[in-house]
Homo-oligomer: A and B are copies of this chain.
Amino acid sequence: MQLDKATPEQLRQWESQLAADYQAIVDKKLSLDLTRGKPSAEQLSLSDALDGILKGDYKAADGTDSRNYGGLDGLPEAKQLGADVMGLDDASQILVGGNSSLTLMFQAMLTAHQFGLKDAASAWKNDGDVKVLCPVPGYDRHFTVCEQLGIEMVTVPMGASGPDMDAVEAMIKADDSIKGIWCVPKYSNPTGVVYSDETVERMAKLGKIASANFRIFWDNAYSVHDLVDDAPQLACIMAACKRNGTEDSVLQFASTSKITHAGAGVAFMAASATNLAGLKRFLSTCTIGPDKVNQIRHTRLLPNRDALLAHMKKHAELLNPRFEAVLSALDAAFGDNDLGAWEKPVGGYFVSFDTRPGCAGETVRLAAEAGVKLTPAGATFPYGKDPENRNIRIAPSVPAVKEVVAAMDVFVICVKLASVRQKLAS
């Protein structure tokens, strides 16, 4: 099916056949869901040893009683776990938070904007208008943070090796009100790409051309979430920043949410001493410290990087058949035609699919009517507006493999039907 080469008669035939196929599916009254970027119950069970793992020993390695108040930046062994998760050498650069890296990111951006990470004078709001670059498609919750804080979002396109760095550099040079950029550098949400070494190096140099107090929000949410053994290596941005003298320009985030129990994990921020001090000044006004008991549970379950990577292999074994179901369906349906485009991720939680321009909303609507829930079209763009109305995020982790297969059968027909009808109407 090559729409752009088809005759009107061919298009009408296809439409008729696809409409019949679609109706047959609607009649099945399915109820399937490809929206949720969260672990399945089987994945969660991999970490059920967490409860009871302390066996009455609540003492941290340094003698701290994990049960009591205090320890704003976390236990030393929890910092080491954060370093293991993020692949960093220096655990002293880590702050350990509560159960949500999104919360740490919000707090860091709130602090940068309103209170200043360096000092009060460094607050973004002092400089008038504030903008943050958002590579698209991207993660909707990053966009929501900016919206809540009244920060204008400026989009920049994602490619196969990360954001378009020519565009990023040009925008930053041209506009002093750009104070930050959101990044998911490994298995980017949703496209699944890993930033190339060159992209990381150019990111690390932004601090030299950007306005003062510029910060990269480096959400390394999928740092160890590989689906293959020979997974791509993400270059270390902090090492690159050190080479370039821009250590203060990057804030790295991660969590165990998609490693252990999604809602009951431990979140981390890695940053320079200046940035850590700035966030701690803020945190000291709104908490007496994170849940250190949960930190110590996690360090006992995952005592070193080898244990962590062995644990992640078990996740991969559960996730791989689901990703294969998505990718083989897409290959079979769209491998030889002009109806869609996608990256083949080897890690993370998503497959990002681009329909022909203008077809994403209708595809999602058709799928919903046929009992398959998809993330709303536009969700991967700031303000929920995909200017080309083409991106759809597919999240296959939660359903069983046969449900993913069934949902993709529906998805494929919906993409085709939406595409053919649009072509007919054009």
Give the interface size bracket for A toward B. 35 or more
Residue of B nearest to A48 (CB): B56
Residue-by-residue, is A81-118 near B (CB-CB < 8 Å gives 1, otherwise 0)? 00000000000000000111011001100000001000
The verdict on A263 contacting B56 (CB below 8 Å), with A103-B286, A148-B282 known, is no
Point out which of A48, A70, A98 has the most chain B C-beta atoms below 10 A from its C-beta: A98
A145 CB to nearest B CB, Å: 6
The interface residues of chain B lying within 8 Å CB-to-CB of A24 are none
Tell me if A's interface is mostly helix, strand, loop or mixed.
Answer: loop
B-side contacts of A290, CB under 8 Å? 99, 263
Q: Which of A250-276 contact B (CB under 8 A)?
A: 257, 261-264
User: A426: CB under 8 A from chain B?
Assistant: no
- Asked if A128 is at the interface of the complex by the 8 Å CB criterion, the answer is no
Contact of A291 among B41, B98, B115, B144 (CB under 8 A): B98
Q: Does A287 contact B (CB under 8 A)?
A: yes
Q: Determine if A68 is an interface residue (Cβ-Cβ < 8 Å).
A: yes
A51 near B297 (CB under 8 angstroms)? yes
Asked whether A23 is an interface residue with its Cβ less than 8 Å from the other chain, the reply is no
From known contacts A261-B67, A293-B264, infer whether A115 and B148 are also in contact, taking CB-CB under 8 Å: yes
> Closest residue of chain B to A51, judged by CB?
B54
With a cutoff of 8 Å between Cβ atoms, the chain B residues found around residue A71 in the complex are: 263
B-side contacts of A55, CB under 8 Å: 51-52
CA distance A264 to B53 in the complex (A): 16
A and B contact pairs by CB, cutoff 8 A, 9 listed: A51-B54, A51-B293, A69-B262, A102-B287, A106-B285, A115-B148, A141-B288, A261-B293, A294-B294
